[in-house]
Amino acid sequence: MTKELHNELYQITFAGRILEGFNDAEVRENVQALFRISDERTASLFSGATKTLKSGLSHADALVYHERLTKAGADVHIAKQPAAAVNPKPETDGAQPPAPSDAEPATTATPTGPQQETPLEFTGNGREYFGIWIVNILLTIVTLGIYSAWATVRNNQYFYGNTKLDGASFQYLASPITILKGRLIALAVLVVYVVLSEMYVEAAVVFAIAFIPLVPWIMVRSLRFNAVNSAYRNIRFDFQGRYGQAFMVAFVWPLLNLLTLLLLTPLVMKKTHEFIANGSRYGTTEFALKADTGSYYRFFGKGLLIAIAFGVAAFLTMRYVGFTVGSIIAAAGYLTLFGYFMAGISNLFLNAVHLDRHGFESRLQPLQMVWIYLSNSFFVVLTLGLFTPWAKVRMARYRASCTAMMVSGDLNHFVAAEQNRTSALGQELGDAFDVDFAAI
C-alpha cells in the first residue's frame, strides 16, 4: 500500500442503484438489516440522490465496507474524502455499520486519537415495560414457574434492547430452553438435599460439603453464560475467568478477611473486581481493571469515617437530647452510607475498567441514588407492587444517564475490526447457571 493510501481518507457513497442479479426489495432489505435503520431512512438511501454512507475511512477499511455492501447488492463506490470535508455526517450516522466478511483480513482494533465521551442511553418507559412485566408474572403463575425462563429472557431483551451506545442497542441472545434446563437441574439438586436432610442428616452434611468445590465452577459458568449471551453490534461478549481465580474470590480471600478482622475488605473487593473485569472479553479484546489498592482503601476509609461521624452524633443526641432525634440522625446516617456505597462501588469499578484504549466513566450521585431508591420503594408499596416496572425503568435510565464510554479514536473502526477478528469463532454457550454474581 502506498504512502498516499495511508494518508488519504475515504468515504463510501451510494446513489440508490442496485447491482445486476439483485432485485430492489432484496437489496433494500439487506441494507436495512446491515445498518439497522428505519424504513424511512432506508427509503431515503434509495431515493436516487448520492448519499455518503460512511466517511473518514482508511483505504483498507473502505474496501471492507465496499465488499460487504456489494455482497448485499448495493452499487456503492469508494471515493476520496475531500480535504475540506471535516467529518461530514453520513446518512447512516448512529446506525449499525455492516460487518466485514469472514474472508477479509483483519484490521487493527487499536484506536487512535483523543478520547471522546460517548454516553449510554436508556430509551425504555414504564408503561411499555408494564405490559411485559404483568404478562410474565401471570404466565409464570399459570405454568407453575415454568414460564420464568421465558420471562427472564423477555425482561433482559427489553432492558438490553433499550440500552444504547453510539446509537446501537445491546442484545440478549440466551435461549429460554437453556435457562429452563439449568433451573431444573438446580431444582433437582435442591430436592435431593432437602430429602437427605429429612431422612439422613449425616448424608446431607456430606452432600453440602461435596457441593462446596462446585461453587467456583458455577460462578465461572454463570458469568460466561451471561457474557456470551450478551452482544453489541453483533459481537458477543465472553468470560474467560479460571476456576482457581473463582476459588480465591469465593473462599480464600473472604477467609483471610475474617482472620484479619475485616481489614482486607477493600482488597477483597478489588480482587473480585479484577476477577470479573480481567476475565471479560468483547469479541477477542480483553477488558482490564486498572486500579490501585489504595483507591479501594480510601473509598472504604471515607465510608468508615461517615459511619463513625453519624454513629457518634446519633449516640450523643440520644443521650443528651432525645431518643427520637437520635434515631432520625441514625436513619439519616444509614441512608447516607447506603447511597455512598450503592453509587460509589459502581463508580469505583467502572472508572477503573478499560477495553483496549477505551475507558469508561460513571458519575452516579449518592443522594440521587437514595432518592430514587426511597421514592421507588414508597410507590411500589403504595401501589401493592404495580409500580415495579416504572421503578426498574427509572433506575435503569438514571444509571445509563450517568455512564459513558470514553472512546479513543473511532468506535466504529474498533467494532468493525472486532467483527472481522471474531467472525470465524464458534461460541460454546454451555449450561445456564443464572446465579447473581456481579461486580456492582
Q: Check which CATH number belongs to the domain holding 10 and give it.
A: 3.30.1390.10
In-domain check, residue 9: yes
In-domain check, residue 208: no
Confidence of residue 112 (pLDDT cuts 50, 70, 90): very low
Amino acid sitting at position 423: S
In-domain check, residue 177: no
Is a pLDDT exceeding 50 seen at residue 365? yes
Is a pLDDT exceeding 80 seen at residue 231? yes
Residue 291 contacts residue 273 (beta carbons within 8 Å):
yes
For residue 103, the surrounding DSSP H or E stretch is none
Confidence of residue 296 (pLDDT cuts 50, 70, 90): very high
The pLDDT value given to residue 387? 97
Confidence of residue 413 (pLDDT cuts 50, 70, 90): low
In-domain check, residue 14: yes
With the C-alpha atoms ordered 175, 414, 395, 125, is the resulting torsion angle positive or negative? Answer: negative
Confidence of residue 440 (pLDDT cuts 50, 70, 90): low
Residue with more model confidence, 411 or 44: 44
Average pLDDT, the chain: 84
Residue with more model confidence, 104 or 310: 310
The pLDDT value given to residue 192? 86
In-domain check, residue 106: no
Least confident of 23-27, 175-179, 403-407: 23-27
Confidence of residue 141 (pLDDT cuts 50, 70, 90): very high
The mean pLDDT of 235-260, rounded to a whole number, is 94
Query: What are the DSSP calls for 32-77, one per residue?
Result: HHHHT--HHHHHHHTSSS-EEEEEEE-HHHHHHHHHHHHHTTEEEE
Is a pLDDT exceeding 70 seen at residue 397? yes
Grid coordinates standing for 167? 446509537
* Rounded Cα–Cα distance for residues 328 and 312 (Å): 13
Is a pLDDT exceeding 90 seen at residue 297? yes
Domain with 17 in it: 3-90
* Rounded Cα–Cα distance for residues 329 and 284 (Å): 51
In-domain check, residue 207: no
Residue with more model confidence, 267 or 2: 267
pTM of this prediction? 0.71
Grid coordinates standing for 212? 462446596
Grid coordinates standing for 189? 439438586
Confidence of residue 39 (pLDDT cuts 50, 70, 90): confident
Domain count, the chain: 1
CB-count burial class (<10 Å; 0-12, 13-18, 19+) for 425: exposed
Residue 300 contacts residue 292 (beta carbons within 8 Å):
no
The pLDDT value given to residue 108? 40
Confidence of residue 344 (pLDDT cuts 50, 70, 90): very high
The mean pLDDT of 92-120, rounded to a whole number, is 54
In-domain check, residue 11: yes
Confidence of residue 62 (pLDDT cuts 50, 70, 90): confident
* Rounded Cα–Cα distance for residues 326 and 269 (Å): 32
In-domain check, residue 302: no
Residue 48 contacts residue 16 (beta carbons within 8 Å):
yes
For residue 240, the surrounding DSSP H or E stretch is none
The pLDDT value given to residue 420? 58
Residue with more model confidence, 403 or 43: 403
Least confident of 85-89, 105-109, 233-237: 105-109
Confidence of residue 95 (pLDDT cuts 50, 70, 90): low
